[in-house]
A and B are shown apart, each in its own frame.
Chain A
Amino acid sequence: MSVADDARALRDAAAAATPSTAVRPAADRAPARPAAGGAPRGRRGVSPAWRKRLEILFFVSPALALFAVFVVVPVVQAGRYSLYDWNGLGPMDDFVGFQNYVRALGDDVFTSAVQHNLTIVVLSILVQLPLGLGIALLLNREMWGRTFLRVVIFVPYVLAEVVAGVVWFMLLQPRGPVDALLEAVGLGSFTQLWLGDPDVALYTVLVVLTWKYLGLAVILFLAGLQGVPEELYEAAQLDGASWWQVQRRITIPLLGPTIRTWGFLSMIGSLQLFDMVWILTKGGPANSTVTMATYLINQGTDRSLYGYASAVAVLLFAISFVLAALYQVFVLRRDNKEVAS
């Protein structure tokens, strides 16, 4: 029996103990309640089944009402606005059908915004996954100052995005601290117009995003690592596995559900990216960092094209939804099945 098989056999137990695999079918929770069938009737003569329904209704309806008012209604409204040519003032009476959508999809700036978002989705995962995993594995070892280092790694994530953005904006100015630092260590020839060069700006934004969000990946991976049972490491060591083998064959496979969940969060975050780009570049220079969300604000609401902005918002929603659904079907479903079985 190989180490990997061993790992697989124990995975259910491990997954159950892992806090990050929170995606669990409701059926799991059901046994926590007393079975409805044979229970004695309540004092007021309401059947337990009804009582339970009332209870659910009572506790769920405030949340549902809020969800309806602040999520469902605006989404439906946006869908309606998107079919009109409307500047936000006066009555909405210029029905244009799907013209706003046609215009958005035919706009070079919008299609490049979608490209930028997808680039950020892919590069975020490609860069942050190995980095985050490596740091998490390192910080999972017993060593001096471990807690301190964990805090240091996590601090950027705790900082408000706008604050972090403004700080980086200042650091990245021409002749700013970043350039000065590079020059001080003899790398003066590497200085760039970090935010001012259309060929560089998107990658500058990506570096700042990595700095900001690496902490989240590390914390999630560390949490996942807590769920890997100690016995497996012992067993592997007894079998003579090296440190690398242990990481590759035990730790990373057992971390799978956590990594996949993180990937999902990262993807959604990248698709909705707004604040950092808005602070650093406003989508510029020359639209080289424009994302779907900054496009929506810049070309939609700032120009009082509320109908068009709504169409872009619906497109952003649709693109995010489709990608999330695909991820759910092809990646996350594995975890759900395994946990459910």
Chain B
Amino acid sequence: MTRNRRAASVLALGATVALLAGACGSGSGGDEAQGDGDVTLTWWHNSNNEPGRGFYEQVAADFEAANPGVTIDVQAMQHEDMLTKLDAAFQTGDTPDVYMERGGGELASHVEAGLTMDLSDEAADTIEKLGGSVAGWQVEDKTYALPFSVGVVGFWYNTALFEQAGITEVPTTQAELDDAVQALKDAGIEPISVGAGDKWPAAHYWYYYGLRECSQDVLTDAVTSLDFSDECFLRAGEDLESFIATEPFNAGFLATPAQSGPTSASGLLATGQVAMELAGHWEPGVMQGLTEDGEGLGENTGWFAFPTVETGDGDPAAALGGGDAWACAADAPPECVDFIEYLLSDEVQTGFAENSMGLPTNPAASGAVADPALADLLTVRDEAPYVQLYFDTAFGENVGGAMNDEIALMFAGEASPQDIVDAIQSAAGTA
């Protein structure tokens, strides 16, 4: 529920015809398999706008043609609807065969409840092909879902407004960002919009400062043990506190929603009321949906990575990100694995990229990304030494929610760097 439309922002055009004869149905039949191999797979996805919707229908039809006896029941839904229905489905145990997993703690609790199929052996080839991307969807060295789109968070900015404020180079360090904020203010432009009303957009700042301040070892360790006692997390909080003190955000940011309506953080950026916003790869799509001409910022769209900090031990090229993956329900028939492997095949991922539906994870599709802004992001993602999954997703709804609440309180001036660490530790029971 947190990440509104994060993945729904995919827009695309056209349909790619691809065929893959992947009938390697091993093992005994699942509960839906009948005698001669007639199987129906239900597939829930969130590309409910054209052309993504049509593309996926074609993909399903191609798979059916290549695998006689398999029928795919495709259900395209609006993103929030899908999440709500999935929540309910998990509780009743009546889950669709093929569905979307966002990884991290959410996946871990699905695995613990025995709802998700272990793909480690059945899909070994595809997992190897995807490489490091699958890390966010692994629990105790077993892979439970195949990521099909992984994006990174950074600053989206309005190139025209930057020009107007006389900023010629995009900021790469915290000091340069502070200068840019001041230059924009001097030019009478609100520098940054942040949807602190929804909390997670505000929390992304703390995650990124954490990423810059902490070394990868400390971070990886903290993410698995939920022990945040290392002082680099305090420094992250101090960085954020002093950045907030420069008052870079839009008026009334504490109540600003992330993506809904023209007065949301994305709406303010899309309509040229602020100069930049920290957001993920979904942002151009969201902005297009918020402007009447469907263009978003159009040719004024720019992107730069989160700046580095002076005291940081972190890799300056490390990125914060996340994505979506296809998973099979634990009781799905074995054909399910064939189908999601097909979804990650070179052909389907290339079509996915050509239609600008997201940032493909299959390296074979990297060259096919049509949208220039997304293509830039893809370079950043692939050059990053590691992509840290959003902390809240990584820690699950409980710890993640407590952490985001406390970070949002810091934006209101009501929490200290220590409070944030304490809130995480107490929610995780590691205080």
Q: In the bound complex, how far is the Cα of B263 from the Cα of A243, in angstroms?
A: 50
How far does the Cβ of A94 sit from chain B's closest Cβ, in whole Å? Answer: 12
> Is B31's beta carbon under 8 Å from chain A?
no
Asked whether B109 lies within 8 Å of A304 as measured between CB atoms, the reply is: yes
How far does the Cβ of A291 sit from chain B's closest Cβ, in whole Å? Answer: 16
Asked whether B251 lies within 8 Å of A174 as measured between CB atoms, the reply is: yes
> Is B110's beta carbon under 8 Å from chain A?
yes
> Is B393's beta carbon under 8 Å from chain A?
no
Q: In the bound complex, how far is the Cα of B69 from the Cα of A107, in angstroms?
A: 56
> Is B151's beta carbon under 8 Å from chain A?
no
Asked whether B112 lies within 8 Å of A90 as measured between CB atoms, the reply is: yes
How far does the Cβ of A232 sit from chain B's closest Cβ, in whole Å? Answer: 51
> Is A48's beta carbon under 8 Å from chain B?
no
What per-residue 1/0 map shows which CB atoms of A188-201 lie under 8 Å from chain B? 00000101111001
Asked whether A286 lies within 8 Å of B397 as measured between CB atoms, the reply is: no
Q: Chain A residues with Cβ under 8 A from B414's Cβ? A: 198, 286
Given contacts A285-B412, A286-B409, A304-B398, contact A89 B252 (CB under 8 A): no
Interface residues of A in 297-324 (CB under 8 A from B): 298-299, 302-305
Interface residues of A in 161-197 (CB under 8 A from B): 170, 173-176, 193, 195-197
Interface residues of A in 258-313 (CB under 8 A from B): 281-282, 284-287, 298-299, 302-305
Asked whether B397 lies within 8 Å of A196 as measured between CB atoms, the reply is: no
In the complex, residue of chain B having the shortest beta-carbon distance to the beta carbon of A87 = B109
Q: In the bound complex, how far is the Cα of B400 from the Cα of A154, in angstroms?
A: 43
> Is B286's beta carbon under 8 Å from chain A?
no
Chain-A contact segment, one of B46-54, B141-149, B253-261, B315-323: B253-261
Q: In the bound complex, how far is the Cα of B27 from the Cα of A165, in angstroms?
A: 55
> Is A19's beta carbon under 8 Å from chain B?
no
Asked whether A286 lies within 8 Å of B263 as measured between CB atoms, the reply is: no
Q: Chain A residues with Cβ under 8 A from B109's Cβ? A: 87, 89, 304
Contact of A193 (CB < 8 Å), options: B251, B261, B408? B251
Given contacts A195-B255, A198-B254, 9 further A-B contacts (CB under 8 A): A87-B398, A89-B113, A193-B255, A196-B252, A198-B412, A282-B197, A286-B414, A298-B401, A303-B398
Q: In the bound complex, how far is the Cα of B405 from the Cα of A22, in angstroms?
A: 46
A-B residue pairs in contact (CB < 8 Å), sample of 27? A87-B109, A88-B90, A89-B90, A89-B113, A90-B115, A170-B261, A174-B250, A174-B252, A176-B263, A193-B255, A196-B252, A198-B412, A198-B414, A281-B197, A282-B198, A285-B197, A285-B254, A285-B408, A285-B412, A287-B405, A299-B401, A302-B1, A302-B401, A303-B400, A303-B402, A304-B396, A304-B397
What per-residue 1/0 map shows which CB atoms of B207-226 lie under 8 Å from chain A? 00000000000000000000
In the complex, residue of chain A having the shortest beta-carbon distance to the beta carbon of B88 = A88
Interface residues of B in 103-157 (CB under 8 A from A): 109-110, 112-115
For the complex of A and B, the 4 pairs showing the least CB-CB separation, nearest first, are: A196-B252, A90-B113, A285-B254, A286-B412
Q: Chain A residues with Cβ under 8 A from B110's Cβ? A: 89
In the complex, residue of chain B having the shortest beta-carbon distance to the beta carbon of A195 = B255
How far does the Cβ of A165 sit from chain B's closest Cβ, in whole Å? Answer: 13
Q: Chain B residues with Cβ under 8 A from A287's Cβ? A: 405, 409
> Is B91's beta carbon under 8 Å from chain A?
yes
Asked whether A173 lies within 8 Å of B254 as measured between CB atoms, the reply is: no
In the complex, residue of chain B having the shortest beta-carbon distance to the beta carbon of A109 = B405
How far does the Cβ of B108 sit from chain A's closest Cβ, in whole Å? Answer: 11
Report the interface size class on chain A: 20 to 34
Interface residues of B in 66-124 (CB under 8 A from A): 87, 90-91, 109-110, 112-115
> For the complex, would chain A's binding face be called helix, strand, loop or mixed by DSSP majority?
loop
A interface vs B, CB < 8 Å?
Answer: 87-90, 170, 173-176, 193, 195-198, 201, 281-282, 284-287, 298-299, 302-305
Q: Chain B residues with Cβ under 8 A from A198's Cβ? A: 254, 412, 414
How far does the Cβ of A188 sit from chain B's closest Cβ, in whole Å? Answer: 14
Q: Chain A residues with Cβ under 8 A from B250's Cβ? A: 174
How far does the Cβ of A164 sit from chain B's closest Cβ, in whole Å? Answer: 16
Q: In the bound complex, how far is the Cα of B398 from the Cα of A317, in angstroms?
A: 24
Number of interface residues of B (CB under 8 A): 35
In the complex, residue of chain B having the shortest beta-carbon distance to the beta carbon of A196 = B252
Asked whether B91 lies within 8 Å of A170 as measured between CB atoms, the reply is: no
Q: In the bound complex, how far is the Cα of B197 from the Cα of A174, in angstroms?
A: 14
How far does the Cβ of B404 sit from chain A's closest Cβ, in whole Å? Answer: 10
Q: In the bound complex, how far is the Cα of B87 from the Cα of A195, in angstroms?
A: 31
> Is B203's beta carbon under 8 Å from chain A?
no
Asked whether B398 lies within 8 Å of A284 as measured between CB atoms, the reply is: no
> Is B234's beta carbon under 8 Å from chain A?
no
How far does the Cβ of A223 sit from chain B's closest Cβ, in whole Å? Answer: 38
How far does the Cβ of B257 sit from chain A's closest Cβ, in whole Å? Answer: 8
Most buried by B among A90, A176, A282: A90
Asked whether A285 lies within 8 Å of B196 as measured between CB atoms, the reply is: yes
Q: Chain A residues with Cβ under 8 A from B398's Cβ? A: 87, 303-305
Q: In the bound complex, how far is the Cα of B255 from the Cα of A89, in angstroms?
A: 32
Q: In the bound complex, how far is the Cα of B330 from the Cα of A339, in angstroms?
A: 63
Asked whether B253 lies within 8 Å of A196 as measured between CB atoms, the reply is: yes
Interface residues of B in 374-412 (CB under 8 A from A): 396-398, 400-402, 405, 408-409, 412
In the complex, residue of chain A having the shortest beta-carbon distance to the beta carbon of B273 = A175
Q: Chain A residues with Cβ under 8 A from B254's Cβ? A: 193, 196-198, 284-286
Q: In the bound complex, how far is the Cα of B271 from the Cα of A175, in angstroms?
A: 15
Q: In the bound complex, how far is the Cα of B2 from the Cα of A299, in angstroms?
A: 13
Asked whether A284 lies within 8 Å of B408 as measured between CB atoms, the reply is: yes
Q: Chain A residues with Cβ under 8 A from B90's Cβ? A: 88-89
Interface residues of B in 236-264 (CB under 8 A from A): 250-256, 261, 263
Q: Chain B residues with Cβ under 8 A from A298's Cβ? A: 401
How far does the Cβ of B411 sit from chain A's closest Cβ, in whole Å? Answer: 8
Q: In the bound complex, how far is the Cα of B252 from the Cα of A284, in angstroms?
A: 12
Q: Chain A residues with Cβ under 8 A from B408's Cβ? A: 284-286
Q: In the bound complex, how far is the Cα of B93 from the Cα of A88, in angstroms?
A: 11
Q: Chain B residues with Cβ under 8 A from A195's Cβ? A: 252, 255
Q: In the bound complex, how far is the Cα of B115 from the Cα of A88, in angstroms?
A: 12
Q: Chain A residues with Cβ under 8 A from B396's Cβ? A: 304
Q: In the bound complex, how far is the Cα of B280 from the Cα of A47, in angstroms?
A: 76
How far does the Cβ of B390 sit from chain A's closest Cβ, in whole Å? Answer: 15
Q: Chain A residues with Cβ under 8 A from B114's Cβ? A: 90
In the complex, residue of chain A having the shortest beta-carbon distance to the beta carbon of B401 = A303
Q: Chain B residues with Cβ under 8 A from A176's Cβ? A: 263
